[in-house]
Structure 1
Amino acid sequence: MQDPIDQRPSRIVVDLDRLSHNLRGIRERVGVPVMGIVKANAYGHGLVAVARHLQAQGVDQLGVAFLEEGMKLRQHGIALPILVMGGIFGPQAAQFIEHDLEITVSSLAKLRQVEAAAEALGRKAVIHLKIDTGMERIGVHSYSAGPFIEAAAASRWCVLKGVYSHLACADDPDSPMTAQQLERFLDACAHFERIGAPMPLRHLANSGGVLHFPDTYLDMVRPGILLYGVLPDPASRATVDTRAALSLRSQVIYFKVVRAGNPVSYGATWAPQRDTRVVTVPIGYGDGYPRGLSSRGRVLIRGQAYPVVGRVCMDQFMVDIGSGSAWNEDEVVLIGEQDGAAVSVESLARAAGMSAYEILVGLNERIPRQYVAA
């Protein structure tokens, strides 16, 4: 018997060829190793499937946010180096080492916790130092990083593989903050030379850095949303040829004529001014399709763009097709392309008053994912 989820009319389709295209474009631009960021379920694209594909494409390293993401990749046979970028929670230190995960060490106290766990296991930990150059999130301030660097370089139980920071404003090519952060980071890194220690792998550029700031490429880059073919910010410039890898598709499940003045959906926030045709689509904010698209979103049916009307429900929403035609089981494109027309993640984000990141990572596991390649 076929699994009901395989028959569900709503689905995410991930084009692996586009993912490969994006990785090639980033590599050609930067000319240094690439750490593919697959945190948050690979930005909604599917953690394990995307990691497997990137591994097959020869990406140099993977980056995740949390221990459990790294453990899941190891459990599914991903052999690449994996950096866990979130601030380490001390009691988890041993599990990082046991699963061969690289650890972000963001303070001297965290370094001591990792050293203690490594010594107890009799096995060295691989670490990257986090330097705070302006995010004020985690990491030792660049101006006081000297003792931190010295302790890490002298550690008997840690292999110091990398040192990194995070760019706060690189999505905007005109922001002066990126140059300031680069200068602070390089000043901190210069301490390795001052104490005669080997320089670890330096990585700084995120998607915005890749797009706009070649000076931040250093020894490795960490593209996230750009790897999936989406620009990180409306101000970003498309200096790399990327293509959106994800599309979100559903089907018409109901058709009716709504008379003029009869409100549609919760709260009676929208009603047609004249008799119109309305179809129902079986996906909603319970799947991650934002409620903020109520009477603001647009979808494609038979190559035509139509507006979402009334409030988006948890499991369904309605579309006004006017005098257009649609039959039950007709394809509805929520994100993606159909017959020469397109709805982009960026356009949905603008309509919903959200970021493209929020749109992608909000698409949850209730939606089945399908992976395609030529």
Structure 2
Amino acid sequence: MSQRPTRILVDLDAIGHNLAAVRGRVGVPVMGIVKANAYGHGLVPVALHLQAQGIDQLGVAFLEEGIALRQAGVRVPILVLGGLFGPQLTGFLEHDLEITVSSIAKLRQVEAAAEALGRKAVVHLKVDTGMERIGVHSYSCRPFIEAAVASPWCTIKGVYSHLACADDPASPMTALQVERFAEACAHFERLGAPMPLRHLANSGGVLHFPETWLDLVRPGIALYGVQPDPASARPLALRPALSLVSQVVYFKVVRAGSPVSYGATWAPRRDTRVVTVPVGYGDGWPRALSSRGEVLVGGRRRPIAGRVCMDQFMVDIGQDSAFNEDEVVLVGRQGGEAIGVEAVAEAAGTIPYEILTGLNERIPRIYLGGGPTA
């Protein structure tokens, strides 16, 4: 057990609560997205908890994430969402992972690997409706769908696309993508083929656009109780699952005009008290929070003083007192105050996704709860 004073606390019961809230809203199966170390919450513990909560499916970005889950005992279906590399195909098939197929050329690679192993591949067809990332353009996807339907070595479980602007409820882009996706899916009917599972909704879709729910939804950040964007509506009572806490490691009085930290970019206007916290950008705490971010000390918001260092940063506590080993909350609640990931992201000039996924393995995770969904 790490004795480092900095730790991430992950409330598994909050994740279970959020899953139940999403299910109650959409009324269709849920694919829980656990890529990027489950958005910083811990890939394996979160996936095992979601499995215990009866999740329908999981989604990861890379083959290696899928293999790690299988080796940890995750048995539910797992879709690898990322782009496909031919040399990896044996790993997909040997670990019973579902494959994103995004072109006819990729389809042929999957067929060859499946035939060589003598086992069918389970695939989801990726249609590009506006992201210009991976997938066949919706306006030219008929030959792609025809080839997949005719494949003797592929079982088409799903067809999907990804929403580019669903975080913004006012964006007209989502309606356009829904229309394009419907036109693409109509090719299955024209070919007389069974309709696979259609999935389109990410967290923004779940929150804002019921027309995107279709046969399956893919919430990511919402499962962890975080809003995807400040403009997001709040139709669900989501509970943040992650707290980031540390402790005071040093206390000193800094005289007026005496600069603090690298570059001497900040100095107090009068004598003040400053504490040092043993967290830095080496842990994923953004350097962009230098002289901009806040933390909680003694139940009060206190500003970061000067530049965030690799392993530490300083906090101006004014004329208050603090002692070594006093708790410091970077994300979470202390007394009557709370700092959410959304506020941290805003101060850093980025998005909540980047804050969460940037918190690296140097910070130990402690898991709380994990019983039946409340």
For residues 114-263 of structure 1, the aligned pairs below 5 Å read 114-263=110-259
- C-alpha distance in structure 2 between counterparts of 1:156 and 1:178, whole Å: 34
- C-alpha distance in structure 2 between counterparts of 1:95 and 1:320, whole Å: 52
- C-alpha distance in structure 1 between counterparts of 2:90 and 2:110, whole Å: 8
Matched position secondary structure for 2:282: coil
Aligned length: 370
Matched position secondary structure for 2:317: strand
Q: Aligned match of 2:350 in 351, 354, 363?
A: 354
- C-alpha distance in structure 2 between counterparts of 1:195 and 1:218, whole Å: 20
Q: Name the counterpart of 1:272.
A: 268
Is the aligned partner of 1:297 residue 2:289? no
Matched position secondary structure for 2:350: coil
Letter of the 1:322 partner, please give it. G
- C-alpha distance in structure 2 between counterparts of 1:241 and 1:89, whole Å: 40
Q: Cα distance, 1:201 vs. partner?
A: 0.4
Q: Name the counterpart of 1:51.
A: 47
Q: Cα distance, 1:40 vs. partner?
A: 0.3
Gaps of 5+ in 1: none
Q: Name the counterpart of 1:80.
A: 76
Scaled by the length of structure 2, the TM-score of the pair is 0.98
Q: Name the counterpart of 1:320.
A: 316
Q: Cα distance, 1:98 vs. partner?
A: 0.6
- C-alpha distance in structure 2 between counterparts of 1:195 and 1:225, whole Å: 36
Percent identity of the aligned residues?
76
Letter of the 1:171 partner, please give it. D
Q: Cα distance, 1:94 vs. partner?
A: 1.3
CA-to-aligned-CA distance 1:196-239 (integer Å, 9 cap, x gap): 00000000000000000001000000001111011111111111
- C-alpha distance in structure 1 between counterparts of 2:357 and 2:18, whole Å: 19
Is the aligned partner of 1:94 residue 2:127? no
Matched position secondary structure for 2:114: helix
Q: Cα distance, 1:263 vs. partner?
A: 0.4
Q: Cα distance, 1:21 vs. partner?
A: 0.8
CA-to-aligned-CA distance 1:151-199 (integer Å, 9 cap, x gap): 1111111111000000000101011110110011011101100010000
Is the aligned partner of 1:12 residue 2:8? yes
- C-alpha distance in structure 2 between counterparts of 1:183 and 1:268, whole Å: 54
CA-to-aligned-CA distance 1:312-332 (integer Å, 9 cap, x gap): 000000000011111100010
Matched position secondary structure for 1:286: helix
Q: Cα distance, 1:81 vs. partner?
A: 0.2
CA-to-aligned-CA distance 1:245-276 (integer Å, 9 cap, x gap): 00000000000000111100000000011111
CA-to-aligned-CA distance 1:92-148 (integer Å, 9 cap, x gap): 111101110000000000000000000000011100000000000000011111111
- C-alpha distance in structure 2 between counterparts of 1:234 and 1:141, whole Å: 30
- C-alpha distance in structure 2 between counterparts of 1:338 and 1:59, whole Å: 32
- C-alpha distance in structure 1 between counterparts of 2:211 and 2:147, whole Å: 28
CA-to-aligned-CA distance 1:272-299 (integer Å, 9 cap, x gap): 1111100000000000000000001111
Q: Cα distance, 1:90 vs. partner?
A: 1.1
Scaled by the length of structure 1, the TM-score of the pair is 0.98
Matched position secondary structure for 2:258: coil
Q: Aligned match of 1:30 in 10, 26, 30?
A: 26
Gaps of 5+ in 2: none
Q: Name the counterpart of 1:340.
A: 336
- C-alpha distance in structure 1 between counterparts of 2:13 and 2:341, whole Å: 19
Matched position secondary structure for 1:7: coil
- C-alpha distance in structure 2 between counterparts of 1:241 and 1:202, whole Å: 26
- C-alpha distance in structure 2 between counterparts of 1:27 and 1:340, whole Å: 31
Q: Name the counterpart of 2:359.
A: 363
- C-alpha distance in structure 2 between counterparts of 1:297 and 1:209, whole Å: 30
